[in-house]
Structure 1
Amino acid sequence: MSKLSKPVRLLFIGLLLILIGSIVANLLQTDFRRVRVKDFYIGTEKQQTVHALAFIPKHCTAEKPCPAVVTSHGWLNSGEVQDAASIELSRRGVVVLAMDAYSHGMSSNLTSDSGGTWGAMSTTGMGMISLVEYLTSGILDYVDTSRIGVMGHSMGGGNSFTTIMHYGRLYNAAIEEAMHPDSDGGEEITEAEQAYADSFNKIWAALPTGAAPRMITEASNPYKDIYANLGVLYGYYEEGGFGSSTGNAVLIGESKEALDLVNFPFGELRDAPIKYVEEGVFYGNKADRTLRVLYQPKTTHPLIHFMPNATRDIIEFFTYVFDLNTQLGPGNQTFLIKELFNFLSMIGLFMIMVPLAQILMSCPLFAELKGEEGPKIPALTPKSRKLWNIGILLTGAISFGAALLSWLIYDKIFVVATKPKAIFNAPTANNVFTWTAIMAIWCMFWFWINFKKDKAAGIRTDEMIGWKITSKEFWKTLLLAIFVIGGVYIVVWFCKWLFNTDFRIWTPAIKTFAPDKLIPFFPYLIAFFLFYLSNALIVNGAMRVEGMSEKKNLFICAVSNIIGAGLVGILQYGKLFFIDHNVLWGPQEFCSWIDPLVIIFAIPVLFLAPYMLRAFYKITGKNWLGPMVFSTMAVMILVMHNCINGLFF
């Protein structure tokens, strides 16, 4: 038997990592087959559809129904990011519906008259109210309709508040009608009228996370519309904490937010008001829905759904309010291990891309695309090393400045991004798109001006940069890229079908998607392709030098790629953690604290890029296939689980 070629061996290793990661992730996700995980779709108002990933403990039956929780992700995510709550609560006997909010994931997009994301959040809970109606309808005989909970992160926390207040308003309206002189009991509320009003209190408990407790003002008393046991989980290092009454995210103690939360059940001041709110202490009585609690785990906003300490609080809250009979303590958690195996699968997915291209190039159709890397640029002299380092630092500084500039201008350029049928209709992606476009222009300019100067001096040649390509080679390269990306997504769809898992680390993910999500994909691809093309030219045509080891060279390229975004992260979070408990950017009018966060999210992709671009360059001798494949994956990660407005409505 002949020995397998290196590309085939690498392909097998990558597929093996994917298989191991997906199998173990599935076992942990299903609590070793004690929980069923399946996709739910329900039709909702205005001809929309809500998708949820359902976690159903197998012991839940019509004879022994279980409590249920609807959980919602934040604006930048989709339902899978709620794994911590979904896995840990279902392990303890709770049915969990991890929803995709409207305009996210596999749910349909908002209609043209929804009032945008925030309008829909304040009226429909982005689909959460419809899911609660579905759960409480009695159609699922294994669900205890008297024990329904809602929770969610960030935007999902807002959805939770919207949902419980929706039912509270219905209850208050029924009570007001019952007290009308013309009602059955006149101004007295009859037993039947009270029972009718009580029928609207469908939520037993709610736990918004990453959303600050509401405050009572002269104009508004939000707690008068809440008739549910209520906990709020707000990170100790929340980036948006500067808007709180304390001036930062620390609310435990005597803050107005904390005191209003625990002292005004049903909007009425307690007989014995609490003077100092302690973290994790239950105030009130769950039996009459007056229980209130504030959690402040030491975590930032985007890490809430990824940190064991925050997950511990979620487990503790629902275990107590639902009277769960479980021997699993709050510290007994497996979700993070599951996430690590998702990451192992993601590593395997990126690992198969290059060998898949090599195997395809053994076919006659793509055989002419095979090539070898060109000569490296001459070894660095003291003078050229100095210029080399200056170029790296200058590009890093411009990347940092471009990030600030993008926050200032992207919502002015894409002012209609939240409107139906906008071309660039993923609002948060427009931030990264603007930054990427600026950097594509700079990198192209910097590369070519230096290349022409060095070529005139006889230091570099056309063979060193892998730029020249015929029209026939270009179209074949594009076709090969489509085949590679198609192969990758066959694996993604197969793992979703067989294991119901995806490929992720934290929030960046490669996952299945609704076909209509491809509509905004192509406009965003242009700038990303140009950026990664310029990045490939720099990595392979300007930074590949004689006398430097491949590992060291690639590491320098990777670090160079993240200087700008890394500096954003250091300044933003250095101030938050070590100076005054507030972020550097966010309180100003020109940007939101989310804008730097989105740039920071790009760091893993930017760090990986030189390794992938170099690998594709080595097998083709040109800098075209790598950018085609990698820019596609980068845009898919950015767009496919993000908020997308408009489309067909």
Structure 2
Amino acid sequence: METREVRFAASNGQVIEGTLYVPPDATSSDPSPGIVATHGYINTRETQSPFAIEFARRGFVVLAIDQTGHGHSDPPAFANGFGGPPALQYMRSLAFVDDENIGLEGHSMGGWASVAAAGTQPDGYESMALVGSSTGSSGVPAGNATFPRNTAVVFSEYDEFSTLMWGVPHASNVGQSEKLRTLFGTDERVVEGRTYGSIEDGTARRLYTPATTHPGDHLSTTAVGDAVEWMQLTLEGEDEMPPGNQTWWLKELGTLLSLLGGVLFLFPFGAAVLGDHRFERIRREVLSARGAEGRGWAVGVALAAIIPVLTYFPLNLLGQGFVPVSWLFPQQITNGVMAWALGNALITAALLGGWHRVANSGTPLEHYGLDTGDGWRTVVRSLVAAVVVVGGFSLLLGAVGFLFDTDFRFWVFAVKLPTTTQFGIGLRYLSPLLAFFLVLEVLLHGQLRSGNREFRTALAHNWIAVVGGFVLLLSVQYAVLLSGSPLPFGQPLLTIVAFQFVALLSIVTAVSTYFFRLTGRIWTGAFVNALLVTFTLVAGTATHAPL
């Protein structure tokens, strides 16, 4: 199988990028069936790898696109039918693709891209698989018994977006959805696995409900197999390999190992950089701790873990609602994270100031790692060291992309190199996020650094303080969801984003703890974390303003 990076333009000139999977038997003299595969909101084309790989293994030419405003495609997001219509048009233009034998598969908002494509080119495709998605949402055409053509709905038993997609409180009730029954042309509950309508007439419908969640579709052999089975039923000319014969997980394992390797690279490389004589002045011995002790320390850890979680939904929503999308701050999700970060920086700084005045008055700044040694030159040298460390990490990430055509990722979490546009966007978000990491460093290595604990113990305690609250939030949300009830705190999108918070904040904790031990000061760790998190966040989410 060959993969190619492709670029094509929509009618208004907006450029969309994607990966084309071309099986060896696809030629202009013997065209193969094709499938356009589209990822969901704040993901990129690589998230669709399980589906794309399995389609391509069975002889389908697959075009996995970055939605408009996502990945390497031009902003703004949501434009040109989320990228679906121009992607279908491009697929139909390929000489080695049978343009009368094309399927559309999309996850979540990618399903809306598929429906948008079907609405603009009703004769340009043969079948569709909506994975965790629906018709008639966010401005795309509503479904009925004849539109879209030959449609499978793969809607997981615990999908978090059941209300948004199909108007039911819990995904286990999707068969009763009035909207779904309209699509299937029945007044009765839709029965899973039963084929409604006729494949020959283009009116076939089938419901699949794998036992997973909305993001879990990407790690589910059942969900992938369901989509594969439907395309094999409704398109012609592919290999009849059983749907359960899957190898995509090997690629997922490989990118997980690359992610772990990339993160681990930061530490010896960082030690090598800071071992250079030019950075000697930013290092000193870690001074004895003068943080909280006993019950006060436990209370501090508990507050550190709980406050960011209590503010997670309200501050993110506040930022998304009150920081307008513009050329300055063009990413809605990042605006929410920025508001959360600044809010928590202010709350934490106020609590730290109160604690210092009441319980630790007179302690010099160097015991918090806040001293500047040679003055601002120490801070500047720390910034330069951080840029070198993150630069080395970026070169490694670029080498992996060049050699293996992938990035550091697992599931819904990915570390990608930003595009030139995204790099410029990241510079705008860098300062507010840096403020958060500076305050976090003082919290971890000032108030909560009790005693001279060994590195592993300090890392474990810091992880509880930084990440533990989000693990608790996800545990509560999913314990209720998996028991058959809706998410108790709602907010399905931000709940899924919290998985990425767990991964990213775990890296943040390790970097913070390691670089403080290495330098005795907070500066380098805060700068490394601000650079890593800002550009990872900006490269991995959607840009909503045209730039």
1:464 to 355, 367, 370: 367
Could you tell me whether the CA contact under 8 Å between 1:440 and 1:527 is conserved in 2?
no
* CA shift in 2, pair 1:143/1:428, >3 Å: same
Confirm whether residue 57 of structure 1 aligns to residue 13 of structure 2: no
1:68, distance to aligned residue in structure 2 (A): 0.9
CA distance in 1, matches of 2:256, 2:442: 29
User: 1:147 is aligned with what amino acid?
Assistant: N
1:304, distance to aligned residue in structure 2 (A): 1.6
In structure 2, the partner of 1:611 is 510
Could you tell me whether the CA contact under 8 Å between 2:162 and 2:174 is conserved in 1?
no
In structure 2, the partner of 1:15 is none
1:499, distance to aligned residue in structure 2 (A): 1.1
In structure 1, the partner of 2:495 is 596
CA distance in 2, matches of 1:49, 1:408: 30
1:110-125 aligned within 5 A: 110=76, 117-118=77-78, 120=79, 124-125=80-81
2:400 to 487, 492, 495: 495
Q: What do residues 423-474 of structure 1 show as CA deviations (whole Å, max 9, x unaligned)? A: 22111122222111111122223334333444437xx554432211121111
CA distance in 1, matches of 2:452, 2:389: 33
1:397 to 301, 306, 323: 306
> Unmatched 5+ residue regions in structure 2?
none
Could you tell me whether the CA contact under 8 Å between 1:559 and 1:607 is conserved in 2?
no
Q: What do residues 479-498 of structure 1 show as CA deviations (whole Å, max 9, x unaligned)? A: 12112212111111121112
In structure 2, the partner of 1:42 is 8
Could you tell me whether the CA contact under 8 Å between 2:81 and 2:116 is conserved in 1?
yes
* CA shift in 2, pair 1:555/1:425, >3 Å: same
Could you tell me whether the CA contact under 8 Å between 1:69 and 1:94 is conserved in 2?
yes
CA distance in 2, matches of 1:593, 1:150: 25
In structure 1, the partner of 2:144 is 223
What TM-score, normalized to structure 1? Answer: 0.78
* CA shift in 2, pair 1:45/1:245, >3 Å: closer
CA distance in 2, matches of 1:96, 1:435: 39
User: 1:67 is aligned with what amino acid?
Assistant: P
1:386, distance to aligned residue in structure 2 (A): 0.8
> Unmatched 5+ residue regions in structure 1?
1-34, 111-116, 169-200, 264-272, 587-591
* CA shift in 2, pair 1:524/1:399, >3 Å: same
SS across alignment from 1:365: helix
In structure 2, the partner of 1:311 is 224
In structure 1, the partner of 2:250 is 337
In structure 2, the partner of 1:557 is 462
Confirm whether residue 515 of structure 1 aligns to residue 420 of structure 2: yes
Could you tell me whether the CA contact under 8 Å between 1:237 and 1:581 is conserved in 2?
no
> Over the residues paired in the alignment, what is the CA RMSD in angstroms?
2.4
Q: What do residues 570-613 of structure 1 show as CA deviations (whole Å, max 9, x unaligned)? A: 333233222x5211233xxxxx4323332343112223322211
1:373-522 aligned within 5 A: 373-377=286-290, 384-414=293-323, 416-417=324-325, 421-456=326-361, 461-469=364-372, 470-522=375-427
Could you tell me whether the CA contact under 8 Å between 1:543 and 1:553 is conserved in 2?
no
SS across alignment from 1:640: helix
CA distance in 2, matches of 1:311, 1:224: 25
Confirm whether residue 132 of structure 1 aligns to residue 31 of structure 2: no
Q: What do residues 92-139 of structure 1 show as CA deviations (whole Å, max 9, x unaligned)? A: 1111111011111101113xxxxxx45x3xxx32222112112212xx
User: 1:103 is aligned with what amino acid?
Assistant: G
CA distance in 2, matches of 1:261, 1:485: 50
Which structure's CA Rg is the greater one? 1
Confirm whether residue 241 of structure 1 aligns to residue 241 of structure 2: no
Q: What do residues 252-284 of structure 1 show as CA deviations (whole Å, max 9, x unaligned)? A: 544423332222xxxxxxxxx684532133223
Could you tell me whether the CA contact under 8 Å between 1:425 and 1:646 is conserved in 2?
yes
User: 2:157 is aligned with what amino acid?
Assistant: Y
* CA shift in 2, pair 1:46/1:147, >3 Å: same
In structure 2, the partner of 1:634 is 533
CA distance in 2, matches of 1:61, 1:349: 38
1:422, distance to aligned residue in structure 2 (A): 3.4
Could you tell me whether the CA contact under 8 Å between 1:447 and 1:538 is conserved in 2?
yes
Could you tell me whether the CA contact under 8 Å between 1:360 and 1:480 is conserved in 2?
yes
* CA shift in 2, pair 1:575/1:229, >3 Å: same
Could you tell me whether the CA contact under 8 Å between 2:16 and 2:65 is conserved in 1?
yes
User: 2:525 is aligned with what amino acid?
Assistant: G
